[in-house]
Structure 1
Amino acid sequence: MAKPSLASQKKVTAENLASLGVERLAEILVEVAETRTDLKRRLRMELAAGLGATHLVPEIDKRLGALETSRGQVTWRQKPAFLRDLDALRGLIADRLGRQEPDAALERLWRFLATHGATSRRLREREEAFEAVYAQAAGDLGRLLAGHDPHLAANALVEAAAAAPEAWSHWMPQTLATTPKTAAQIALTLAQARAKAAPGWIAVIRHLADAAGDVEAYAATYGAPALETPPVAGALARRWLATGKVEAAGQALRRAAPKPKGLRGRLAAPDFDWESAWIDYLEAAGDAAGAQAVRWASFQRTLDAGRAKAFVGRLDGFDDVEAEGKVFAYARAHDDFQKGLAVLMTWPALAEASRMILDRGDEARVEPDQAEDWAAKLRARFPAAAHRLLRKAAATAFKRRELKLSQRLTEEADSITI
């Protein structure tokens, strides 16, 4: 085995630091902790955790009390250390105290989550890292709630959500991921009994309805106009399908089906996600031919390769080969050159893509960056097509006055031996 280099031995890794020995590492930590309040607090808490819950709980309570009462702004310089300190506190409660005294940990996780409003006001700009700490705490809470009486868990959850519905509208999925269904059902009943118009409350009920497996309760959170919109109808239909209520899914989708528009009464193009749910409904209802017809019509309208693959994938024997040829022919002849070529390149059907480029090269309209990527895939087996594609892209870049890009594409094209 090769001896580690001097440079690798000087990298700050756990293995290399271990070689310093416990005493030297302790001396370094003490020195640094004298200049870093957050590190000193973390070390004190870790020492307390090692002594047991009776020593750790007062330290956690002290820090929670500071979060509950502090009002000073956290500057951008302080923010990284503040977020690390916040997440370390979460971990000490959920993991260290959670293993030693689960009930005490649960009580303090409720308090920790309740600090979100006060803490967020101390930050000039909230960010993903801050919200992620609280979202993870909500997940930790769900894990600890799983072992408790479902009625008590449900009551506590609804009380907390009612106090801060907007925050809980984001956290509820993490908490409910490990919460027993019984607790979710009880919490849903309790939440429905509360008439709240606060932002986020409806979303809380929807999350509870999902966890309880109550599609009717989920649907009841929407008014009639919303139920006629494709996104809501599609989401509702998927939930009905998941519970085996196929006809209920069909009814939900029909409410938002494309309607005639204009003087000639032509049907509007369907929403893509609604159409996906409609295909799933047709399959579940036993209308495989209808589902295939929708897939093909959708591909013709959108040139979505996923639709085409699903269409071909449902066929057996030589039928799938014939259908694949039908897809390629349609893509090659499509008016939108780039969209048609994209289907062939992502399939991948490089021979068909090469033929399309050479047959229709004069009308090729492809974004230079995309053309460069595609040419890289074509040049080994189909150098003439790669050369033509790069030349056309270089001309497009030149017309846009992107001269450096045009020159690079031209040089790349010239490097291909045809």
Structure 2
Amino acid sequence: MKRPTVASLKKVTAENLAGLGAERLAEILVGVANTRPELKRRLRMELAAAQGAEHLALEIDKRLGSLETSRSKVSWRQRATFIRDLDALRDLIASRLGPLDRDAALSRMWLFVDVASRVNLRVRDRDGSMAAVFDRAASDVGALLRETEATAAAEALASAVARHPAGWAGWLPRVLEGAPPDLAQAALRSLSARQGATAAWLPLIRALADAADDADAYRSTFTAEALRTPSVAAEVAERLLRADRVEEAGQVLEAAAAKPGRGWTGARSRPAEPDYDWETAWIEYLDRSGQGEVAQQARWASFERTLSAERAKAFTRRLSGFDDVEAEGRAFERAAAHEDFQRGLQFLMDWPALPEAARMIQDRAEEIRVEDELAQLWAAKLRIRHPAAAHLLLRKAAAAAFRRRDFATCDRLTQEADSIVLP
């Protein structure tokens, strides 16, 4: 067996440190802790945990009280240490107090989440690291709630949400992840019955309704006027379809469909384009209600209008024999001839249909108008099998950059084009 080297033995690892012995390590920790208050506080809490849940809970309560009452700003020099200390407190509640006393840990975790509004006033969270601490706390709450009696857990969750709806708009999905529907249903009932509801509660009620698979509760958060908006109707219909309430979904969608006099674009013979999400839900409704042929017609019409690769693929997947190949060919021809060069090429690249994309570039060279980033991205995909098309695309993008006097971009695109080996 190979003996460890002196260099490896000097590395700071758990194994090497254990070799120093408990007494020496304790001396080192005490020495460092005397210069670092957050480490000293952590060590005191670990010692309290060794004495039992009530002793650890007392130390945690002291720290939570300090966070609740302190108003001093945290400087940029103190920021990293403060956030590490905050996360250490979260971890102590979840991983140390939790196994000792779940109810005590949950009550402290509610308090921990509540201090978010306080510490946000004291710390500038430029990179989102403090927000990440409270996101993790929300996940910890979810794990603790899943082991708590449903009624009590739901009541506590509803109370927390009502106290700080702005924060819970982001945290609630983390709490509900993996939660049983009965917890979400009970919390939904509790929150809906509370006084003092504001508009800030609506996204929370919707999140609870989704977790509880309650389409009616979700729909109730919208006014009758809002339900006639295509995007809202699509959201509600999606949930009704998920609950297998197909006819109701169709009624909601039909009520929001563009009609003469509403949603038109000037000339009465020219209605506004359907909302894409509404159209997606409408197509699913047609399929689910036994109108498959009409759904196919809607998919193709949507593709022709939007050049959506998603729509075209959904259309061709439902064809048999060689019909799918023929439909693909028609879709490629439609994209290659589209009046908006970039949209047409985008479709072919997204499919991907690289030979057709290369042919489009060469056939319509004088019409090439493509954003710089897209030109580079697409050229990278084309350069191996279709180097001439990739070279032409980059050259045209470089020329456009030169005309608008963006010489740095012009040089970069030109260099990229020159790096392509032409046949």
| TM-score normalized with structure 2 length | 0.88
1:286 match: secondary structure: coil
The CA deviation at 1:218 is 1.5
1:270 and 2:274 equivalent?
Answer: yes
1:253 and 2:258 equivalent?
Answer: no
1:290 matched to which residue of 2?
A: 294
1:403 and 2:412 equivalent?
Answer: no
CA distance in 1, matches of 2:14, 2:339: 59
1:344 matched to which residue of 2?
A: 348
1:218 matched to which residue of 2?
A: 218
Q: Specify whether residues 36 and 388 from structure 1 end up closer, same or farther in structure 2 by C-alpha distance, changes over 3 A only.
A: same
2:305 matched to which residue of 1?
A: 301
2:339 matched to which residue of 1?
A: 335
Alignment of 1:49-88 (within 5 A): 49-88=49-88
Deviation larger for 102-111 or 168-177: 168-177
1:417 matched to which residue of 2?
A: 422
2:88 match: secondary structure: helix
1:358 matched to which residue of 2?
A: 362
The CA deviation at 1:268 is 0.8
CA distance in 1, matches of 2:137, 2:13: 28
CA distance in 2, matches of 1:258, 1:362: 38
Superposed CA offset, 1:335-380 (max 9, x none) = 1111111211222211111111111112211223322222222222
Deviation larger for 42-51 or 393-402: 42-51
CA distance in 1, matches of 2:21, 2:271: 76
Paired residue for 1:374, among 374, 378, 402? 378
Deviation larger for 371-380 or 324-333: 371-380
Deviation larger for 176-185 or 221-230: 176-185
CA distance in 2, matches of 1:8, 1:225: 71
CA distance in 2, matches of 1:344, 1:187: 48
Q: Specify whether residues 362 and 17 from structure 1 end up closer, same or farther in structure 2 by C-alpha distance, changes over 3 A only.
A: farther
Alignment of 1:179-258 (within 5 A): 179-258=179-258
The CA deviation at 1:329 is 0.8
The CA deviation at 1:126 is 7.5
**8 Å CA contact 2:227, 2:256 repeated in 1:** yes
| Alignment length (residue pairs) | 418
1:154 and 2:158 equivalent?
Answer: no
1:317 matched to which residue of 2?
A: 321
CA distance in 2, matches of 1:174, 1:190: 19
Alignment of 1:165-184 (within 5 A): 165-184=165-184
The CA deviation at 1:210 is 2.3
1:281 matched to which residue of 2?
A: 285
The CA deviation at 1:119 is 2.5
Aligned AA (1:390): L
**8 Å CA contact 2:125, 2:131 repeated in 1:** no
Aligned AA (1:281): Y
Aligned AA (1:128): G
Superposed CA offset, 1:158-184 (max 9, x none) = 233333333333333222334433333
CA distance in 2, matches of 1:348, 1:19: 59
Superposed CA offset, 1:75-133 (max 9, x none) = 22222222221121111111221111111111211222222232222235586333332
CA distance in 2, matches of 1:250, 1:145: 37
**8 Å CA contact 2:52, 2:100 repeated in 1:** yes
CA distance in 1, matches of 2:78, 2:188: 40
CA distance in 1, matches of 2:129, 2:323: 51
Superposed CA offset, 1:275-325 (max 9, x none) = 222222222222222222222222222222222222222223211111111
CA distance in 1, matches of 2:302, 2:253: 17
CA distance in 1, matches of 2:186, 2:371: 55
CA distance in 2, matches of 1:312, 1:24: 72
**8 Å CA contact 1:184, 1:208 repeated in 2:** yes
1:144 and 2:149 equivalent?
Answer: no
Deviation larger for 317-326 or 40-49: 40-49
Q: Specify whether residues 259 and 64 from structure 1 end up closer, same or farther in structure 2 by C-alpha distance, changes over 3 A only.
A: same
Aligned AA (2:78): Q
1:81 match: secondary structure: helix
The CA deviation at 1:7 is 9.5
**8 Å CA contact 1:258, 1:267 repeated in 2:** yes
CA distance in 2, matches of 1:27, 1:313: 70
CA distance in 1, matches of 2:326, 2:289: 26
Aligned AA (1:116): A
1:384 and 2:388 equivalent?
Answer: yes
Aligned AA (1:264): R
Deviation larger for 268-277 or 362-371: 362-371
Deviation larger for 42-51 or 216-225: 42-51
1:266 match: secondary structure: coil
| TM-score normalized with structure 1 length | 0.89
Identical-residue share of aligned pairs (%):
57
Q: Specify whether residues 389 and 263 from structure 1 end up closer, same or farther in structure 2 by C-alpha distance, changes over 3 A only.
A: closer
The CA deviation at 1:18 is 6.8
**8 Å CA contact 1:234, 1:277 repeated in 2:** yes
CA distance in 2, matches of 1:296, 1:4: 69
Aligned AA (1:195): Q
1:78 match: secondary structure: helix
CA distance in 2, matches of 1:275, 1:11: 61
CA distance in 2, matches of 1:350, 1:5: 56
Gaps of 5+ in 2: none
